[in-house]
Chain A
């Protein structure tokens, strides 16, 4: 053997020895329980991170091996708890986290406490009966986790979700603000963060401007205009989209997508069509360079047609994509259909709007055992929406027949809603009665319409003691319709009344009173004001002249005037005053609404004299809230 060959042989032996050394080292380390369990745990983490079902199974097996060697291994307990939470095995998860808390030193208990809080929250979400107690326990666990591990934001995010469950939006916003400033969070927690943030913004925007402002202040976001409700809704939508995008391929992605659609639906429900306003910026030729949308009413969210169309498509898609979800929650499906219909109506898409509103109450299919339950409230809203669409169709110039058909359909739903003794609030009952009355009126059923108006009046009287009374807007609409109906119906024959003229007079007066009440409640109804002003509400004094009475001594002049009741002001003989030269004289009433005053000789005149006198006839009905009517004539009297 040459020296070179010898060296290669020895080198090979060394290499072989090294390899053998490595192999034996791994075998020796594998025999040490702590090293073996660590190896199994690493395997489990590796399998778990791949995320598929088969890998999860293998992760479980590796975890069992790891825990078989060391049952109280903190890492294994944490992973066991996490897998159990994902599998919905909450008892195992709670047991793992509780063991972790027992074996770990106080400074490292944070994640386990957070996990235990999550288990409590999941029990709440499952619908456990001890909801309040579980939420309190979860809150305590998250608080402890925050205290023990302040660098990580996971517990803050879960505490925010806990606050959302008790509907404490400001508390949730405060936790989210802390989580944002301590951004050492896991990937799952980032998804939860954006989902919770979106929920807080959604609920705050839906609650009203006051809550929106308070939550925006607590959040202290970079966006200075976040307090604006429209901005808040849009931001909630974006945050849900972001969360869904981050959860791509996970089971939670579908739920987040649905939440995005629900926010869009809420915005469709509250937003008004945006009005385009021209900005000052124009080019050299005077052409407009940019357009901006501005809200009709400040504080009310607005939507452009383009954005609304996008939302309609998104919500419709959500309805078809999540059929199973909506089959379990028929009311949610009905509400979404209603929103799609009403929102389209606002943008003038009337035919499609009516079709979507009708979809809220589906017909029974052959494969269904029983019809989908429809609450009186939903039925009321369907009726009200169809009524509204019919009203808009009338304005848009649709034929009378089409409008009547629509109103008839609306009336059917409103009647069914009113038939339910429970379920409708006094406010909804009132609005339903008024709308039904209008529908009946349009169908030429005047007595029916006035009967429903009486029902509405009864509800109005009853609701005065209620905590949440009827809105002024609805009251104004009621008085408006009632006034118009009473005025138009003033000539209807009524057997109970002896004097038709008096009945008519009373009805006109009532109508005017109701119209005035409506205008008091809502002063923006200019058309109604013009209508009311056209109705004559004052008596008329005409044809003031000298007459000769043959039956009284010859050549006695009588002063006569026609006093006619042209309006609703009732007056009697006692309201009329006749003065000649400022002195009150007696008079008597004749046929055809004429009055006759007979000045006595000696008071003003002498026989054979001729003089010019001032005659004043006044009808004073100020006691009834009307103006005094007075007419003064100068006549030449020959006695």
Chain B
């Protein structure tokens, strides 16, 4: 009986160890920048988010997932949060409906057109392979077109909660 208990104990230790390894490699914490408010109220500026790293490089993401991603700006790496609005291979374009500019992907309206990019997207934009098109919850977000196309390798992970 004592021997069995010991074996169970060792088993628990092994499970905990593998579990810890798995959690350490699959999940993480990402801090939102204090000045980054484009994803309010989903991600508040300066808040801490739990992320699923498995949704990162090489792993499938789904439409409308909120993701943390990295952008290289002048030899600096900055972290942002955004919402996946188009998947690789799809075409994003802007359509004007009763004075409102809508972002259309695969024939469906997915969001309000991003500010300042409506003219460029009116004629459509092909999303490259291994890349997702991200948008923000605030429609007045000013973010360059090139940085809205996020390669999988720059995705840190999917936001699971705050």
Genuine A/B complex: yes
Q: Please state if B146 and A247 are interface contacts (CB–CB under 8 Å).
A: yes
A221-253 vs B, CB cutoff 8 Å, 1 = contact: the mask equals: 011000000000001001101100111110000
Q: Which of B122, B126, B145 contacts A193 (CB 8 A)?
A: B126
Q: Please state if A15 and B128 are interface contacts (CB–CB under 8 Å).
A: no
Contacts of A185 in B (CB 8 A): 126, 128-129
Given contacts A222-B124, A241-B120, are A14 and B13 in contact (CB under 8 A)? yes
Say yes or no for A278: interface residue by CB 8 A criterion.
no
Contacts of A222 in B (CB 8 A): 123-124
Q: Please state if A11 and B146 are interface contacts (CB–CB under 8 Å).
A: no
Q: Please state if B10 and A14 are interface contacts (CB–CB under 8 Å).
A: yes
Which of B30-38, B42-50, B147-155 binds A?
A: B147-155
Min CB distance, A232 to chain B, in Å? 12
Contacts of B146 in A (CB 8 A): 245-249
Say yes or no for A190: interface residue by CB 8 A criterion.
yes
Say yes or no for A531: interface residue by CB 8 A criterion.
no
Say yes or no for B19: interface residue by CB 8 A criterion.
no
Q: Please state if B147 and A248 are interface contacts (CB–CB under 8 Å).
A: yes
Say yes or no for A270: interface residue by CB 8 A criterion.
no
Which of A44-52, A460-468, A472-480, A532-540 binds B?
A: A44-52
Contacts of A183 in B (CB 8 A): 89-91, 126-127
Q: Quick one: which of B130-153 are within 8 Å of A by CB? A: 131, 144-147, 149, 151, 153
Contacts of A245 in B (CB 8 A): 120, 144-146
Measured CA separation A51–B70 after assembly (Å): 14
Say yes or no for B125: interface residue by CB 8 A criterion.
yes
Q: Please state if A187 and B151 are interface contacts (CB–CB under 8 Å).
A: yes
Given contacts A185-B126, A189-B128, A246-B145, are A14 and B14 in contact (CB under 8 A)? yes
Say yes or no for B100: interface residue by CB 8 A criterion.
no
Measured CA separation A7–B3 after assembly (Å): 11
Contacts of A239 in B (CB 8 A): 123
Q: Please state if A10 and B128 are interface contacts (CB–CB under 8 Å).
A: no
Say yes or no for A184: interface residue by CB 8 A criterion.
yes
Min CB distance, B47 to chain A, in Å? 28
A3-33 vs B, CB cutoff 8 Å, 1 = contact: the mask equals: 0000100110011001000000000000000
How many chain A residues have a CB neighbour from B under 8 Å? 32
Q: Quick one: which of A178-220 are within 8 Å of B by CB? A: 180, 183-187, 189-190, 193
Min CB distance, B129 to chain A, in Å? 5
Q: Please state if B119 and A51 are interface contacts (CB–CB under 8 Å).
A: no
Q: Please state if A235 and B151 are interface contacts (CB–CB under 8 Å).
A: no
Q: Please state if B145 and A242 are interface contacts (CB–CB under 8 Å).
A: yes
Measured CA separation A52–B74 after assembly (Å): 9
Q: Please state if A235 and B6 are interface contacts (CB–CB under 8 Å).
A: no
Q: Please state if A187 and B149 are interface contacts (CB–CB under 8 Å).
A: yes
Q: Please state if B123 and A238 are interface contacts (CB–CB under 8 Å).
A: yes
Q: Which of A11, A52, A241 contacts B9 (CB 8 A)?
A: A11
Closest Cβ neighbor of B11 among chain A residues: A14
Min CB distance, A509 to chain B, in Å? 61
Contacts of A248 in B (CB 8 A): 144-147
Measured CA separation A15–B74 after assembly (Å): 43
Q: Please state if B129 and A184 are interface contacts (CB–CB under 8 Å).
A: yes
Q: Please state if A187 and B131 are interface contacts (CB–CB under 8 Å).
A: yes
Q: Please state if A11 and B13 are interface contacts (CB–CB under 8 Å).
A: yes
A149-181 vs B, CB cutoff 8 Å, 1 = contact: the mask equals: 000100000000000000000000000000010
Q: Please state if A50 and B149 are interface contacts (CB–CB under 8 Å).
A: no
Given contacts A49-B153, A187-B149, A245-B146, are A15 and B123 in contact (CB under 8 A)? no
Say yes or no for B108: interface residue by CB 8 A criterion.
no
Contacts of A50 in B (CB 8 A): 72
Say yes or no for B17: interface residue by CB 8 A criterion.
yes
Closest Cβ neighbor of B124 among chain A residues: A222
Contacts of A241 in B (CB 8 A): 120
Min CB distance, B38 to chain A, in Å? 18
B53-80 vs A, CB cutoff 8 Å, 1 = contact: the mask equals: 0000000000000000000101100000
Q: Please state if A246 and B126 are interface contacts (CB–CB under 8 Å).
A: no
Min CB distance, A65 to chain B, in Å? 21
Min CB distance, B142 to chain A, in Å? 13
Q: A18-B14, A49-B153, A51-B72 are in contact. List 11 more A-B contacts (CB 8 A).
A: A15-B17, A152-B129, A183-B91, A184-B129, A186-B129, A187-B149, A190-B126, A193-B126, A238-B120, A247-B146, A248-B146
List 5 interface pairs A-B (beta carbons < 8 Å), by A numbering: A238-B119, A242-B123, A245-B120, A246-B145, A246-B146
Q: Which residues of A contact B (CB under 8 A)?
A: 7, 10-11, 14-15, 18, 49-52, 152, 180, 183-187, 189-190, 193, 222-223, 235, 238-239, 241-242, 245-249
